[in-house]
Structure 1
Amino acid sequence: MSGIVIIGAGECGTRAAFALRETGYSGSITLLGAEPHLPYERPPLSKPMDGAVQMKLICAEDALTSAQIEYLRGVSVSELDADAAAVTLDNGQVLAYEKLLLATGARPRRLGCPGAGRARDFRTHADAEAIFSKAGITRSVAIIGGGLIGMELASVLRGKDIAVSVIEAAPKPLGRAVPPRFADKLHARHSSEGVIFHLGRGVVAIDDDGVLLSDGSLVRADLVVSAIGVTPEITLAEQAGLAIGNGILTDRHLHTSAPNIFAAGDCAAVSQQGGIHTRFESWRNARAQAETAARNMIGIAEPFTAIPWFWSDQYDLGLQVVGLPQPTHERVIRSLGDNELEFYLDDGRLVAAAGLGTGNSLARDIKLAEMLIAAGIHPDPAALADPDLNLKALLKREKAA
């Protein structure tokens, strides 16, 4: 008997499978994963312990069995037939479905230069093992891409006393997702740790000696890593005729343009106010959309309204961002010794916050900021800037008002 099929056994797909059981769904659930492992979390891949790459499992084998979730690992879907409500696996097996969840995630962007195949991607457990297995014998690494993943990897490699060069086509690293104030602080920290930056230059070729740049210079490296971002995995959806853009287009309930097909996680571009569609690439977003998709697949019409949030650990610094800061927002800075918070107001309403501090020291403040954002408050900027005013007290005061 057909039931629910989930394509993608990452954070989103796996959490959705368990959320279906938690909401009382009793039909069959089939979870399809392309990798040979049990489902695992990706953030720990950039944080090896004692020289070994971590594989932090999302669930154990017996948990899948207890929940009566059929997990097919090491399989890919070769065709999605939305009209027939069926998917064909690469081994020829055909699975019918009543509801389908596309949790296909994203894939690394590819370099287009000669020798691009010499660069290692950094996305899967196998990628991480390939990179860190060389850490003991590698003297120098060139990282192409100065985004969050590239900079996190740079901090880990510098901790192993490996020479690191970061190549970024933009004039600054961390320019897309990180507020400028904190991007500058992290850039400065990396420079003080000995990371060499090659900014505003493109990659012409990669060879045995290293990376040839557009200005004619050569960045010598024993190992080259490509960290130039990801693109949503939309191949199946596109071939099946689903509406796509920068991802698989969904409404606020994560329903795609095809009957009984939902999309969630890194592959989903969710409808927002103003007619735009937005993708949210983060661990927590994957979990939140998984829960929303699960409830909606069993008939609960629940819009996805979670506030975006992400974090990044670099050296002993922890960055956290909640909401979507924009250059047009009014910024309010709260200094807390060596730590710092930044709040963002849109027409007086608090819509985002970010913090940079030692370790996880600002986690509580960011959580309270998230609650203030959810409450839709219009705070006094002076109150936000005052380090002596507790954010919890501000939340209570605003709720009372």
Structure 2
Amino acid sequence: MAEFGMVIVGAGEAGARAAVELRTHGWTGPVTLIGEEKRAPYERPPLSKDCLVTEEEPSTVDIINHRKLAQLDVNFLSGSVVTEIDRNNQSLILGDGQQIRYERLLLATGSRPRRLSIEGSDLLSLLYLRTFADAIKIRTQLEPGKHVAVIGGGFIGLEVAASAIKRGCSVTLVEAGPRILTRGVPEEIAYMVEARHSEAGVVFKLGVGIKSIETSDEGHVIALSDGTFVHCDTVIAGIGAIPETSLAAQCGLEIENGIRVSEKLATSDPNIFAAGDCCSFPHPLYGGKRIRLEAWRNAQDQGTHAARSMLDSIESYAAVPWFWSDQYEQNLQVIGLVDCGEKTIIRDLGKNGKLFFHLSTDGRLVAASGIGAASITKDIRIAEILIEKQVKVESSDLENPKVKLKGLLRLQNI
């Protein structure tokens, strides 16, 4: 049976980590990693940051290079597209007609940018950020003096806006919601981020929709629902991502806000697993709530976990969700699921920023978020342990910056 091997579709963070983990965990049979891009697997977080602002010619930051893949005896099929999954014969068909059989299959297909749809508008010139090629294209438009319109006030849109400001552009950011960072970030942090962007020169248009986008040789004109117009040279859209489920759906796997997987990351077919942005899973720390995460560490952790599950591990995936973003000199981090908290305790760190602790009705710490200096990382890491252990914490201890969070671990004998 080993001759069929382990096959991974998707050579991003989750897929690359899974390939390595299969070897680390002792699998000696064939491993095939299939990626649509011709590049070796690379990190995506730098695409909206360093790749856009570096003075040097940008390059990818490899997760694993071709030489290491060869050393691990991973058959890396770059520039290849899977067109069909045949579950009955446990095989894949590639765009060039090649057929690959699998013993176990991992779908790490990620997500794709959500496209802006406005009836009657020419949207072909809009830019989106997902790949290194996208980043290079955006970078060429970020010239000093140019006016850039960013559509979407999530992490990607804000990071691109900050990078454009650093490149000497003027920026207008349009967000249909009443504030930026509406998903999983406390209002006060969102307002702090908005204030920092405004200080840097970003003009915000919040709570407004887009009626039309007209394009000509002179640039773009965005007509907003409040009757105002934005004249700009470039339009960059960052309005969310859609899980890439087409292959899974085509072969009859269950879909629920992504590819539906179990606590072991197994799909409705016991020989097929999924990991990363493309899948939704039940989280044991949150009462089995089914969630889907678009986050770097989740893709990394799920990739390694899925590999172990493919090798018959019975361990449930229970890593605490963690998000981060750099906004100019500020570091923003969220650990856990903020929307599962019923009560929020604020710890003011003065010039180093603020921490927000989110408690359940019974006093358990379910999430923590913070913004400020890089030093908040230490407290976020301690909060992660408290969340993992489902610790009940006194609000007064969380609020008081003189109470060291590390001491709370000792009180719990952790």
TM interval, short-chain normalised = over 0.9
Q: 2:385 maps to which residue?
A: 371
Q: Do structure 1's residue 342 and structure 2's residue 356 form an aligned pair?
A: yes
> How much has 1:277 moved relative to structure 2?
2.2
Answer yes or no: is the 8 Å Cα contact 1:53–1:128 preserved in 2. no
3-state DSSP class of the match of 1:118?
coil
3-state DSSP class of the match of 2:236?
strand
The one-letter code matched in structure 2 to 1:84 is N
Runs of 4+ in 1 over 3 A off after TM superposition: 51-54, 272-276
1:258-315 per-residue CA deviation (whole Å, 9 max, x = no partner) reads 1300000000100246664210111000111111101110111110000000100011
Q: How does 1:54-65 map to 2 (within 5 A)?
A: 54-65=59-70
Q: CA RMSD in A?
A: 1.4
3-state DSSP class of the match of 1:244?
coil
Structure 2: 5+ residue runs without aligned partners? none
TM-score, normalised to structure 2, is 0.94
Q: Please, which of 261, 266, 269 is the counterpart of residue 280 of structure 2?
A: 269
> How much has 1:156 moved relative to structure 2?
1.2
Q: 1:195 maps to which residue?
A: 202
Answer yes or no: is the 8 Å Cα contact 1:249–1:271 preserved in 2. no
Q: Do structure 1's residue 204 and structure 2's residue 217 form an aligned pair?
A: no
Q: Please, which of 306, 320, 324 is the counterpart of residue 293 of structure 1?
A: 306
Q: Please, which of 248, 253, 266 is the counterpart of residue 255 of structure 1?
A: 266
Q: Percent identity?
A: 44
3-state DSSP class of the match of 1:36?
coil
- Tell me the number of residue pairs that the alignment of Structure 1 and Structure 2 aligns: 399
Q: Do structure 1's residue 309 and structure 2's residue 325 form an aligned pair?
A: no
Structure 1: 5+ residue runs without aligned partners? none
Q: 1:4 maps to which residue?
A: 6
Q: 1:25 maps to which residue?
A: 27
Q: 1:42 maps to which residue?
A: 44
Q: Please, which of 108, 113, 118 is the counterpart of residue 103 of structure 1?
A: 108
CA–CA separation in structure 2 for the residues paired with 1:155 and 1:259: 44
CA–CA separation in structure 2 for the residues paired with 1:231 and 1:379: 37
TM-score, normalised to structure 1, is 0.97
Q: How does 1:23-172 map to 2 (within 5 A)?
A: 23-48=25-50, 49-50=54-55, 52-113=57-118, 114-136=121-143, 139-172=146-179
Q: Please, which of 398, 401, 413 is the counterpart of residue 384 of structure 1?
A: 398
Answer yes or no: is the 8 Å Cα contact 1:203–1:212 preserved in 2. yes
Q: 2:242 maps to which residue?
A: 231
Answer yes or no: is the 8 Å Cα contact 2:31–2:73 preserved in 1. yes
Q: 2:332 maps to which residue?
A: 319
Answer yes or no: is the 8 Å Cα contact 2:9–2:107 preserved in 1. yes
> How much has 1:42 moved relative to structure 2?
0.3
3-state DSSP class of the match of 1:120?
coil
Answer yes or no: is the 8 Å Cα contact 2:144–2:169 preserved in 1. no
User: Are the structure 2 counterparts of residues 336 and 276 from structure 1 closer, same or farther at C-alpha, using a change threshold of 3 Å?
Assistant: closer
CA–CA separation in structure 2 for the residues paired with 1:201 and 1:189: 21
CA–CA separation in structure 2 for the residues paired with 1:277 and 1:52: 42
